[in-house]
Amino acid sequence: MAFSIRPFRDSDADTVFRLRAEAFVTQFFEELGPERCAAGVNAYMPSDYLRMATEMKFFIAEDTGIPVGFYTIKRIDESTAELLFIYVSTKYLRQGIGSRMIRHSEEWIRSNWPGVGTYLVDTGIPKYNGDFYRRMGFTDAGASACPFPNLPIPALRLSKRL
Ligand SMILES: CC(C)(COP(=O)(O)OP(=O)(O)OC[C@H]1O[C@@H](n2cnc3c(N)ncnc32)[C@H](O)[C@@H]1OP(=O)(O)O)[C@@H](O)C(=O)NCCC(=O)NCCS
């Protein structure tokens, strides 16, 4: 695998939509059920990613030029950053791409947002991916919510010191 991570380009918006939708349909359905899955997929359209990419940092993971995942980080305040999205293509799960994106995000934050000492993530599917975040050094930090329009989903917050 010729793996690399690069910044988002506007032409990636459809790919980002597809990668996220694919996870809701194939990975989250059991834990979320149909209504919450539909709300989750519909929460962000490709045009929303284009707008969000002007306010947050989106990165694309590629295997030999083919997008296989993406992640998004958002600065909440001077000392806090949030991992808003992290998605790996279904075919590429459990091949080290998620952990490489987490490491890349932490290096990027240290270099570009040096005031940030707390890194947060909220997950609405903690049974499915809570242990992934714990393996990456996050610890449970209480209840939260994924603010999808019309149907907020209860979430687990995890955090780590950077
Ligand atoms: C969660 C996700 C990003 C992990 O990415 P990945 O590339 O599959 O993870 P990696 O291969 O880098 O795994 C890193 C470690 O976490 C473990 N791990 C990965 N997914 C896991 C899971 N779902 N549950 C428990 N452990 C998991 C791996 O076994 C590995 O452990 P090791 O270091 O002891 O070998 C990926 O499963 C994914 O995109 N899922 C769908 C979308 C998603 O859940 N996004 C987050 C929404 S909040």
Q: Tell me the pLDDT tens digit for each residue of 63-104.
A: 999 999 999 999 999 999 999 999 999 999 999 999 999 999
Which domain does 151 fall in, by range? 3-161
Residue nearest to atom 27 of ligand 1 (CA): 132
Q: Tell me the pLDDT tens digit for each residue of 115-148.
A: 999 999 999 999 999 999 999 999 999 999 998 8
Whether 96 is in the pocket of ligand 1, judged by its Cβ within 6 Å, is: yes
Whether 27 is in the pocket of ligand 1, judged by its Cβ within 6 Å, is: yes
- Domain count for the chain: 1
Shortest-distance atom of ligand 1 to CA 89 = 39
- CATH of residue 8's domain is 3.40.630.30
Q: What distance in Å separates the CA atoms of residue 153 and residue 39, rounded to the nearest whole number?
A: 9
Q: Are 133 and 111 in contact (CB under 8 A)?
A: no
Whether 144 is in the pocket of ligand 1, judged by its Cβ within 6 Å, is: no
Q: What is the value of pTM for the model shown?
A: 0.97
